[in-house]
Structure 1
Amino acid sequence: MTRRLVIDNDGGVDDCTGIWWALTAPDVEVVALVATWGNTERDAAAANLCRILHAAGRPDIPVVLGATDPAGPSPLSDRAAHVHGADGLGGYAHEWATGSVTPSDEPAADLLARLVAADPGALDLVTTGPLTTLASVLAERPELVDGFRSLTVMGGSVRAGGNALPAAEANVAHDPQAAAAVVAAPWATEQPPLLVGLDVTMAALLEADVELAAAHASDAVPARFLARPMDGYLAFYESVRQTPPGMFPCHDLLAVMAAAEQPVITEVATWPLAVDTGGGAAWGATVADRRPVPESTLGDFAPWRVALACDPAPFRAAVQRLFTPS
């Protein structure tokens, strides 16, 4: 069964890797791309998406513009230029033309509503950036919580701690208020949304001597597009020592593959979930209530599926295929 994806993203290195994978996967259809602020400015993110679609020969896929700034107070209001470069692609975005591909004037909420109306319950929505745009869309069109076949969110952490902050993952910490609104929305309880956070994305690592070397050795378009941006991405992870030497994650790719129901997630638990918006040391943390019998609760908890374990083998194999010349 072909999975039909709408990808809401912030145009960084791992977002672009996930998009390239989805564009080339035989059982995946990319229906639309939404550009959101986060790794870089919103318009720079949109330009990166147009670059991918032009390079891939897919000008038919619409790109729409999402949010430009967080919806509320945030401990991480700055863009992640130190991770992805000022342009989202490690300083190499200018080497790839956008061609005739330009963002649509259609508002993101209108696009999503139109797509859902045309094919209700058939689209899989995956977010790989801050949740600002999705929170705004749901505030304007709350009926869309029932319109998608599934929602997959790259963000948060239940057991692994934070990355951008001690307790908070970057996408959630960029806009905790928006993340809290999305988490608390009345999603279908028979299949709650899936959180693909640091618990699994930091366990699915690529190697400089394997996947990155393959990218540099390949003349495949995705490899040429991603190789040097991935160099900078690896250098960041080397600098913060969050991974073994010579290894780095690709968070958003794992989430996109999970949304497409590839065999990468091996353990999932359903727990009440909330986001800390209090402004303290855990500001932006995703909190799962794992108690068998809760005594009391603070905040707006809602049932979510949380990815807890993954199989890196199909994840790495997918990257190696992506970098193999056709």
Structure 2
Amino acid sequence: MIHLRKVLIIADPGVDDAFAIMYALLHPEIEVVGIVAEYGNVSQEIALRNTAYLLQLAGRTNIPIIKGADKPLTGTDPEFFFDIHGTHGLGEIIPPVQTPAHDPFHKVYELIHTYGRDLNIINLSRFTSLALTFIQAESNIHKTGNVYVMGGAFFVPGNRTPVAEANVYGDPQAAKIVAAHGKNITFVPLNISNRAVIPLDTIKKVAIENDTPFSKIISPIMDYYSTQYESIIPGIDGAPLHDVTLFSYLMNPEYYKVVERQVKVNTTGPSKGLTLADFRPAPEYIEDYPMHSIIIDFDKEAFTQDFVKIMTNR
């Protein structure tokens, strides 16, 4: 009997989020029990529509769509990245759906109560909805399984500022709450996700050999996404699928190298959004501060092969 990994996804689709959601929906050993749509790459409203579109394509409209945060904890205006992901978040595709019926945020607590340790939370977007979960359900959040977050930058520059990764920079107060109060958290930082570039010829192969409900959107959204990245990083030949790495690690931990460290987040000044960990041979630790897992290396070739296998439904 196959043991299904139950996952609650927090996402802001966004092209790489869309690929991560597609991967999760296609994986035979993953059961998506809910998707929280929040702001980030796109507005919350667009994230809701794109989530509904992906579930509609997959014939999985039974999966709850949950309305997440629409702005940072500070109440400041969020910053979107339509230049990277397109006006509607999926390149030049305009999803033919209206804002869908959705569950209120309280649905997250119901899922935590229902699945407990069997529930894995996969955070692909800003940390706001995840932080709210910690703030409002602290007694229950620690009863879940593992929490995986796409965020932070260790040993590498940021992609939003010279030191800050976009998900953390977008709401550093929320990221600080998660780092300071979370348990069983794995950070998948830029030093991994930036390298998760699927070459364009591989994407074309995936699209040609595709026999999944997503076959018609794979090439269009990746063509747009990779073109935008080519203008930022000439010669990249593709674009990083940051968020797919979280599901890859969930299902294939043997591909990844992990260390345990405490993670701190700067919230103000020129280093706003900086994630800091002590990687010295003899680190100094803060008493009563949680330890987290940080992925520091991975087998890119194995990652690519797994992506092709799942996305072509072999």
Q: What is the TM-score normalised by the length of structure 1?
A: 0.88
**Which of 160, 163, 168 matches 1:164?**
160
The within-5 A match list for 1:105-254 is 106-108=103-105, 110-187=106-183, 192-215=184-207, 218=210, 220-241=212-233, 244-254=235-245
Q: Deviations over 1:253-308 (max 9, x none)?
A: 1112223x32464210101101111222x2101111223445697xx963111001
The whole-number CA distance in structure 2 between the counterparts of 1:264 and 1:83 is: 31
Residue range with higher mean Cα deviation, 127-136 or 301-310: 301-310
Task: Give unpaired runs (5+ residues) of structure 2.
Answer: none
Q: Secondary structure at the match of 1:270?
A: strand
Q: How many residues align?
A: 312
1:286 partnered with 2:275: yes
> Unaligned 5+ residue runs, structure 1?
none
Cα RMSD, aligned residues only: 2.4
- State the secondary structure of the residue aligned to 1:164: coil
**Helix, strand or coil for the counterpart of 1:302?**
coil
Q: 1:302 to 1:63 in 2, by over 3 A?
A: same
Change in 2 beyond 3 A, CA 1:103/1:315: farther
8 Å contact from structure 1 (residues 35, 46) kept in 2: yes
- Structure 1 residue 197 displacement after superposition: 1.0
* 1:161 aligned counterpart, secondary structure: coil
Matched, 1:320 2:308: yes
Name the residue aligned to 1:103.
101
Shift of residue 153 of structure 1? 0.2
TM-score (norm 2): 0.91
Please list, as runs of the form range in 1=range in 2, the aligned pairs for 1:52-131 lying within 5 A after superposition.
52-72=54-74, 77-94=78-95, 96-97=96-97, 102-104=100-102, 106-108=103-105, 110-131=106-127
- Partner Cα separation in structure 1 for residue 63 and residue 97 of structure 2: 16
Code of the aligned partner of 1:291: R
The separation in 2 between residues aligned to 1:72 and 1:270, in whole angstroms, is 30
Query: Aligned in 2, Cα 1:205/1:193: closer, same or farther, shift over 3 Å?
Result: same
Letter in 1 for 2:229: Y
Q: d(CA) in 2 for partners of 1:56 and 1:227?
A: 17
Return the offset for 1:140: 1.4
259, 264, 271: which one pairs with 1:269?
A: 259
